[in-house]
Structure 1
């Protein structure tokens, strides 16, 4: 038998979701069975969807050996500390805003499970003494938004459970505006408010853009503002109103102004432009930078962020390409 005291970081989670993280090797069916037969909260049986509160006591009526087997990590080998390659744009007791460099995943994937931004931030907080994985039951600091491997810029992290939940809610409720800087092929002379629908093809890892009146996919909105005309291209700012996979890249390509360096969505003359840019500046992938975050209508534990604006400087390669195309 084991008793678990629910902490602030564990609270406001459903019982089944808490146990899925706590007993990470148990199947979902096993979790439901354990809740029916082998779990009490504050001495009482609870449903799967019971929401835990700070101070609740969970009792697991399982042997220590069974609990150890179900909660053991899938791989026993310990993870080495990830080398810190991000910079901190802003940090307080609740949140951290990281500037993600080029080539770094936000989360791990099947090919890279160790050195990604989420692990780098966790190691940074462990080193500062602000996060101890040994004392936390199921919570770990995590990103509220995600950038592609080759997209640089601002990523939001919640340092505690309440802050992470609030950031996720702000994003769902459109209380954080996300602005990107990029260079697009061709001359864009006026501000555009683009509407359409986007459908993802998981097999090819690409997306298709449809007219706003079509039924395929999900609704998208992208606002593009030209900043500076360049040689056969334009420096622009993009307001990502809806945040879908590859939205900026595909939406801009659909109007004939693909992001420079983007071999996946560029067509026709844009491909030749990209080839010449690779030879002169070694740009081999999309040039896209998450430049600015604006908080508005904030309430709850992060209300103090209301009206705050955070920016990440352009990466060195971006500046070099901007200079080259300005000649």
Structure 2
């Protein structure tokens, strides 16, 4: 195997934050700036205080402010580019055939289940790396938000930094409406239910992200609307009013109705039963995105069709 060339920046760097990176999370800024450095190394540098902002320690979730001075320690950087990242051919093919909308500023993609949105944590590449390979002439391609690996559906990708900033502002102001389809274990009795419980994000010993309901966490709200009751499961629409990690999955589990196929927060016995029937994925689909166009202000509404495997599962359930 050909080794990846490396270079070492022997000096501490002091970077002043400009308009282009204002309001960006520190971890996202570092991941973008230190291309080739593993995410685990970046998070460790922040945790140990090797990375500082205005000479002080900060959390990886810190939002950068215009004029902030970021200290970056000497670090070994693997010289990577889009050409030498190995991307699965099936992912490239899927992306080319799953674009719902595209203009000069952004892309709306119907992300297939089973593909991460970006590489890292043992994953060599994801959706964004594949897009950069497919479109080498496109100088800027960045994720506007994220979806879990097993979640399918609407994913926004910016083609300009100016558009990325506007879309981030829309997300922060709750001006982008996202709705999901989820199949919950058991009978969901209420027609509508708003879950408003805080969520705390942490990592286990394998650096795997975990989220729990905790008063020490951040506020999180999800509105669940019952769409169809089946014999043992219920199809719901989930509309998150906040954008916390694993929010819908944890809120559903907290209600006592975890999502079918959720290996992290779900019901093991139910998951085993569905796997015996050949169904092995998380039933969570980002069905709709609604927001104003970042340039024209036109109202936009995108819908990602339910994937065939999810349709097939519902077709085999008995509606009540």
Provide the TM-score with structure 2 as the length reference.
Answer: 0.71
> 1:125: how far off?
2.9
Moved over 6 A (4+): 17-30
Matched-pair contact (CA < 8 Å) for 2:36–2:80: no
CA offset digits 1:101-123 (Å, max 9, x no partner): 11111011131233x10012222
User: What 5-or-longer segments of structure 1 have no aligned partner?
Assistant: 1-10, 33-47, 52-69, 133-139
The range that moved more, 75-84 or 188-197, is 75-84
2:19 counterpart residue number: 12
1:75 alignment partner, one of 73, 79, 82: 79
Answer yes or no: is 1:289 the counterpart of 2:285.
yes
Q: State whether structure 2 residue 274 is matched by structure 1 residue 274.
A: no
Q: 2:309: which partner in 1? A: 317
Aligned pairs, number: 261
Alignment of 1:100 with 2:111, yes or no, is yes
Shift of 1:75: 3.0
Q: Using the alignment, how far apart are the partners of 2:179 and 2:202 within structure 1?
A: 25
Q: Where does residue 122 of structure 1 map in the other structure? A: 132
Of residues 208, 215, 235, the one that matches 2:212 is: 208
* Cα separation, 1, equivalents of 2:287 and 2:157: 16
Deviation digits for residues 127-173 of structure 1 (CA, Å, limit 9, x no counterpart): xx4x14xxxxxxx3111110111111111011011111111111111
Deviation at 1:50, TM superposition (A): 8.7
CA distance in 1, matches of 2:171, 2:285: 19
Residue in 1 that maps onto 2:165: 165
Corresponding residue number in structure 2 for 1:196: 197
Query: Residue 81 and residue 233 in structure 1: after superposition, are their counterparts in 2 closer, same or farther (change >3 A)?
Result: same
Q: How far is 1:191 from its partner?
A: 0.6
Q: Secondary structure at the match of 1:199?
A: strand
Question: Please, what is the CA RMSD of the aligned residues?
Answer: 3.4
- Taking the aligned partners of 1:96 and 1:24, their CA distance within structure 2 comes to 23
Cα gap change, 1:50/1:123 in structure 2, threshold over 3 Å: closer, same or farther?
same
- Listed as ranges, the matches of 1:139-288 within 5 Å are 140-189=140-189, 190-203=191-204, 205-210=209-214, 215-267=215-267, 271-280=268-277, 282-288=278-284
Tell me by how many angstroms 1:201 deviates: 2.5
Any idea what SS the aligned residue of 1:148 has?
A: coil
Q: Separation in 2 of the partners of 1:326 and 1:277? A: 14
1:81, 1:123 within 8 Å by CA — same for their partners in 2? Answer: no
TM-score (norm 1): 0.70
Deviation at 1:183, TM superposition (A): 0.5
Unaligned runs of 5+ in 2: 1-17, 38-44, 54-65
Larger radius of gyration: 1
> By how many angstroms is 1:303 displaced?
4.0
